[in-house]
């Protein structure tokens, strides 16, 4: 048995479509919980409307946001996986097929950065990153489409032997720069260390962690808790019109590096698009958030 072109094409397209029509369960729970604690009436109302919007989209199988972003997949491949057919091509074809068949149709967001022309195809689209899982007989696919609204405000800076206070101050500076813009309450991903490229990937990966899951690294678990509190003292609030709820979670990943320490910060807007599946050699598909 092997993981085939057909199954990867179909699952990657399904994950993208579903990410547009519903928000993850952990995100709904977080919105409800923050709405209860929110002290501003405007902010409470906005959080409630967010939940209503997500529920209405799910109920009617409509889109939560008109901006479908661009398709972005993070794929982890078990070392015992066997493939049959062209798997990268399957992901490209899956998106093409979705564009032709999805109802309602998608707006054209794939942008050539050199000409600013927009369409449904483009170089290196969908964006896919790959990793390995030793010993596994499945591939794990996470779909997390990205749009300008929150994508625009990610930032990376390289420090030399920074202490934690320098890193945390930088995270807050990036939050202040984003301000009301990234459709808060956001999930903030931070990547510390490694190299330039690796820090950015860690930050992105951090946004994909489920809200409420405790960081297994105690130093980071503490840092996440105090940074969340700090970010929520800035006051930008839901949709940036004021309130206590600017962020639902701060998630941090780290890697060893050299003395130069990249710190990458990125944002997921409140709808926190994320769908996942594992495809096994047997052809079985297991969905999870």
Per CB under 8 A, 247 contacts another protein: no
Per CB under 8 A, 159 contacts another protein: no
Question: How many CA atoms does the CB half-sphere of 153 hold within 13 Å?
Answer: 25
- Least distance between another protein and beta carbon 107 (Å): 5
Copy the structure tokens of residue 137. 């007989």
Out of 3, 13, 57, 92, point to the residue binding another protein (CB under 8 A). Answer: 57
Copy the structure tokens of residue 99. 């564009």
- Kindly tell me which of 17 and 140 has the beta carbon lying closer to another protein: 17
**Taking a C-beta distance cutoff of 8 angstroms, is the pair 9, 90 a contact?**
yes
User: How far is Cα 109 from Cα 118, in angstroms, rounded to an integer?
Assistant: 6
- Kindly tell me which of 14 and 241 has the beta carbon lying closer to another protein: 241
- With residues binned 3-state (H G I as helix, E B as strand, rest as coil), the percentages for the chain, rounded to 5, are 40, 25, 35
Out of 2, 25, 32, 52, point to the residue binding another protein (CB under 8 A). Answer: 52
- Least distance between another protein and beta carbon 72 (Å): 17
3-class secondary-structure state, position 78: strand
User: How far is Cα 285 from Cα 218, in angstroms, rounded to an integer?
Assistant: 34
Per CB under 8 A, 176 contacts another protein: yes
Q: What is the 3-state secondary structure (H, E, C) of 11-69?
A: HHHHHHHHHHHCCCHHHHHHHHHHHHHCCCHHHHHHHHHHHHHHHHHHHHCCCCCCCCC
Per CB under 8 A, 26 contacts another protein: no
- Kindly tell me which of 6 and 157 has the beta carbon lying closer to another protein: 157
Q: Please identify, among the stretches 76-84, 176-184, 251-259, 276-284, the one whose residues bind another protein according to the rule CB under 8 A.
A: 176-184
Residues found near another protein in the complex (CB under 8 A):
41-42, 45-46, 49-50, 52-54, 56-57, 60, 62-67, 104-105, 107-108, 118, 148-149, 152, 164-165, 168-169, 172, 176, 179-181, 183, 219, 222-223, 226-227, 229-230, 233-237, 239-242, 269-271
């Amino acid at each position: 048995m092997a993981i085939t072109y057909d199954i990867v094409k179909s699952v990657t397209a399904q994950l993208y479509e579903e990410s547009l029509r519903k928000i993850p369960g952990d995100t709904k729970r977080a919105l409800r919980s923050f709405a209860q604690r929110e002290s501003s009436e405007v902010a409470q109302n906005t959080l409630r409307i967010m939940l209503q919007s997500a529920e209405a989209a799910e109920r009617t199988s409509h889109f939560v946001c008109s901006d479908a972003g661009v398709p972005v997949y993070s794929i982890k491949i078990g070392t015992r996986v066997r493939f049959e057919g062209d798997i990268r091509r399957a992901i490209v074809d899956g998106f093409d097929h979705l564009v032709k068949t999805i109802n309602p149709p998608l707006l054209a967001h794939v942008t050539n950065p050199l000409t600013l022309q927009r369409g449904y195809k483009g170089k290196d689209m969908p964006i896919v990153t790959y990793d390995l899982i030793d010993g596994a007989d499945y591939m794990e696919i996470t779909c997390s489409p990205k749009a300008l609204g929150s994508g625009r405000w990610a930032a990376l800076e390289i420090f030399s032997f920074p202490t934690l206070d320098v890193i945390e101050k930088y995270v807050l500076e990036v939050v202040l720069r984003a301000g009301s813009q990234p459709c808060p309450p956001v999930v903030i991903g931070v990547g510390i260390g490694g190299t330039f490229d690796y820090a950015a990937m860690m930050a992105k990966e951090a946004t994909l962690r489920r809200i409420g899951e405790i960081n297994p690294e105690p130093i980071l678990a503490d840092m996440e808790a105090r940074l969340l509190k700090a970010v929520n003292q800035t006051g930008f609030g839901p949709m940036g019109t004021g309130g206590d709820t600017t962020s639902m979670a701060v998630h941090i990943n780290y890697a060893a590096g050299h003395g130069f320490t990249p710190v990458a910060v990125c944002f997921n807007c409140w709808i926190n698009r994320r769908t996942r599946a594992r495809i096994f050699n047997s052809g079985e598909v297991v969905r999870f958030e």
